[in-house]
Chains A and B, each alone.
Chain A
Amino acid sequence: MAQGYYALMLHAHLPFVRHPERDYFLEENWLFEAITETYLPLLQMFERLTREGVPFRLTMSITPPLVNMLQDSLLQYRYKRHMEKLIELAEKEKARTRDGREKIMANLYHRRFSTALDYYLHDINMDMIARFREFQERGVLDIVTCSATHTFLPLVKRQETIKAQLATARDCHRRAFGVNPVGIWLAECGFYPPLAPLLHQTGLVYFFAEAATFDTSDPQAVYGVHAPVTCREAPVAAFARDMEASSQVWHAKIGYPGDFAYREFYRDIGFDLDFDYIKPYIDPEGIRINTGIKYKSITGPTEDKQAYNPFTAIERASQHADHFLSNRIAQIQHLSRNMDRPPLVVTPFDAELFGHWWYEGPLFLEFLIKKMHYNQDVVAMVTPADYLERYPVNQQVSLPYSSWGEKGYADFWLSEPNAWIYQHLHTMEDRMVEMAVNHRGAQGTLARALNQCMRELFLAQSSDWAFIMRNATSVQYAERRTKNHINRFNTLYEQVKHGTIDEAYLAELASRDNIFPDIDFHWFLPEFQLHG
């Protein structure tokens, strides 16, 4: 019998980016890179572990936009095209590199990309969602959902919107994975007390909250973050991340990914090689971008990077897994002396951290899972649902407003660069409710227009746009996306109001923003009930 439990939660999410109007679109690479570097390696790891018979329990949130994108045939086709290009580049790299480490890596990249594409096309028939679903059915994976478009809920104006977001997410999840979700990853861990009853009505049992809230909750949580709490507002449970464990992996200063032996994210051949050579594999307009082929290691605080040595990196990942595990063991042993139940350590991470940012991340996870199974008896892996089944009675507290962003509140999504969006988002919410009430029971074109309005609103509400605006990565794109959805919504709103719906315009929007094919605007009615 284990003395304590460890729950690993991977939050897989990308905003909905799909541009059928162009043949190539730079931002679609967000998805392609995440598939190649994170989602496929994770699936392949699950395959290996199941084949070997290593039992494990993992929690993953696969957000509704990601579900929609992974199931979209256009994006599937484009991913295939992207990979064929990448494999072609890797082939050229094999020929270009002479000997030594670069050659080894070029070979590895080529093999890795080819295997990935082969697996994607033939083993799983391009349907990654179905594969994730199978792993959930085999009992190794618990998949949880998220607000419909990763919306930061505390900054939403109306309760109707939150209900519609939750209903959409639940519906999408059920269609993709065959069961209703029992857990939710609240986007950015954004929570405020009135949310709890709505989660309960949706049929959700637990969510994840920021660690600090367990301190400032009313009353303070007696077990800290090492046991869930029951919300006072409704019988749903909250789990908080353990900062000690998370920061070992996640922290920019002391985390494992910064190890000098690991691969350097910022040195890519898209920038390092001759323009003429790399031109076919970067943005068609000749803008240099990351290709995913990188030969340098982090090396240290220097610009003079050394060649990446995969063998050292593998060893290092193994050592880090050992280190992480021994720390968890020590932590659990220490904690279990002071608790009436086995302590639980929860570490949620962005899934894209593993593989995309931290190239050796998936390998680290595989080591960790195996070592946890073979080498010790103190810590066992569980999912939050398992833990709640065993220990349904928990301390009752009222959690405050919080997020996992900077300073623990809404600072990141409500700041100078992005505060302008809320006036528009809130007006759209008001108008959406107004339209739903006025056109209750609408059919045909009118219903399609209202459903499209709902999609535009949800897409505009994605917290990623505010995040990017603040973070200054692809600001122009994020601003334009927000403005586009506001504009499309308002245009449709005017058309609905005046009874002059432009069929062609509506069809065009429906083909572009085709997220959530089965959305229903009636979810915006004030009397809409989540349960039942």
Chain B
Amino acid sequence: MNKQELSKLSKKKLLEIAKKWAVTGRHAMRKAELVQEILAQQKKAKPSPMPAKKSKPSGKALKKSSDTVVRRAKFELGAPGKAIDEDVFVPASYQKTEIQLLVKNPTELFAYWDVARKDVHALEAQLQAREKDFQYVLLVHDVTLVDFNGHNANASFELSPGPANRFFVQVDRAGAAFCVELAVRYKQHFKVLARSNTVATPKTHKTEGLAWAEVDIKPIKKAKAKLKRRQYVKPLISMANLPDKEKVRTQQRIRRAAPAAPEAKPTAGKRKQPYVGSPYVGSTYPTEI
């Protein structure tokens, strides 16, 4: 989409598009800024995330973005994939009160949680309030070198994750251990519902030292010995019922599969002519592409 087309759209629509293009900080932007950001992203990225019919990005894109561009090419068919027509049901909740923590990178964690209906009802009865009135919060604890018992964290902070049941938690501390608790706040009440697993963020600073250790290479020796035994035992192919053309092929195949001739061993010291690698020199050159 070009600038004029984008400018005509409502801000809501623009936000949707910006989301597709993963524009960061989009909610704080004004309309004009959004348009600008989207255009910039479109320029940066390669194919449009919207189903592109004909217009295909060109080689210049290859020169622009990171190496995932290259890696995604194997999934590039030129058309957006189709849905599979099968009834699927993916539960929103597994009726199990829990919170799970994952490490995204040294400064960011990811938490998702699930609250069973029966626990919600119990809570409603206890607090004498409806679920929509109380607030789910996350308590993030730094538990580095601590056997956490709920009260002895090195540091803690509270987050309001909003209505979704997952949240990316910024911790900004590499090489530290964290644990998160899911809790409910309502007026003066505060109740912890579940505690997550403890995870450690990877450390990013450099350390020095030197020690040596041997790799256990027994499996290599075993595998190589096994391969060596098999090297000269080639599959037997019954040629009795093959048509003539096939027979020739199969013979060729067996010949090729025969043990390599002695001169095929590495030619140490006795090199052949330098390999220029021009298509017009030498008979073995692949002349086709």
Contacts and interface: CB of A to CB of B under 8 A. Distances in A.
Interface of A: 14, 19, 26-27, 29-30, 33-34, 47-48, 50-53, 55, 108, 111-112, 122-123, 130, 134, 136-139, 154-155, 157, 178-180, 182, 200, 203-206, 215-216, 218-220, 222, 228, 230, 232, 235-237, 247, 250-253, 255, 257-258, 260, 264-268, 270-271, 283, 287-290, 298-303, 305, 310-311, 313-315, 318, 321-322, 350, 352-353, 356-357, 359-360, 363, 366-367, 370-371, 373-375, 385, 388-389, 392-396, 400-402, 405-412, 414, 416, 419-420, 422-424, 426-427, 464, 467-468, 471-478, 480-481, 483-484, 486-487, 490
B71 interface: yes
B53 interface: yes
B94 interface: yes
19 contacts: A27-B77, A34-B74, A55-B265, A112-B289, A137-B231, A154-B103, A216-B206, A218-B209, A219-B209, A235-B216, A236-B216, A288-B53, A352-B74, A394-B214, A395-B211, A406-B66, A410-B103, A473-B81, A483-B90
Contacts of A219: 207-210
B60 A302 contact: yes
Interface stretch (B10-18, B176-184, B278-286): B278-286
Given A218-B203, A370-B275, A477-B82, A357 B216 contact: no
A294 to B, nearest CB: 11
A136 B224 CA distance: 10
Contacts of B114: 423
Given A14-B74, A315-B279, A426-B100, A237 B215 contact: yes
A401 B103 contact: yes
B186 to A, nearest CB: 25
B30 interface: no
Given A393-B213, A410-B102, A476-B82, A350 B63 contact: no
A366 B275 CA distance: 12
Contact of B100 (A268, A423, A472): A423
Contact of B106 (A237, A287, A409, A419): A409
Nearest to B249: A122
Contact of A301 (B47, B53, B59, B209): B59
Given A27-B81, A235-B214, A253-B64, A410 B104 contact: yes
B212 A363 contact: no
A74 to B, nearest CB: 17
Contact of A474 (B80, B96, B266): B80
A490 B82 contact: no
B68 interface: yes
Given A139-B227, A252-B62, A385-B220, A230 B214 contact: yes
A411 B284 contact: no
B99 to A, nearest CB: 10
Contacts, number: 338
Interface residues of B, number: 106
B83 A310 contact: no
Contacts of B65: 252
A476 B80 contact: yes
Contacts of B273: 374
A142 B209 CA distance: 33
B206 A220 contact: yes
A179 B222 CA distance: 9
A350 B71 contact: yes
B209 to A, nearest CB: 4
Contact of B213 (A123, A206, A235): A235
Interface string B57-89: 111111111111111111111111111101111
B253 interface: yes
Nearest to A136: B227
Centre residue among B67, B68, B266 by max chain A CB count within 10 A: B67
B213 A318 contact: no
Nearest to A140: B260
Contacts of A395: 210-213
A187 to B, nearest CB: 12
Contact of A419 (B112, B246, B264): B112
Centre residue among B114, B213, B253, B271 by max chain A CB count within 10 A: B213
Given A266-B57, A393-B215, 17 more contacts: A48-B286, A50-B260, A53-B263, A137-B231, A138-B231, A179-B223, A205-B219, A250-B67, A252-B70, A298-B58, A357-B74, A374-B273, A410-B102, A419-B166, A472-B20, A477-B82, A487-B89
A388 B219 CA distance: 11
A314 B257 CA distance: 29
Contact of B217 (A388, A419, A476, A481): A388
Given A108-B289, A385-B220, A394 B284 contact: no
Contacts of A490: 89, 91
Q: Which 10 A-B pairs have the closest CB atoms?
A: A477-B81, A474-B81, A219-B209, A53-B264, A298-B59, A301-B60, A409-B105, A374-B275, A396-B213, A357-B73
Contact of B67 (A251, A394, A474): A251
Interface in B238-278: 246, 249, 253, 256-257, 260-261, 263-266, 271-275, 277-278
Contacts of B83: 476-477, 480
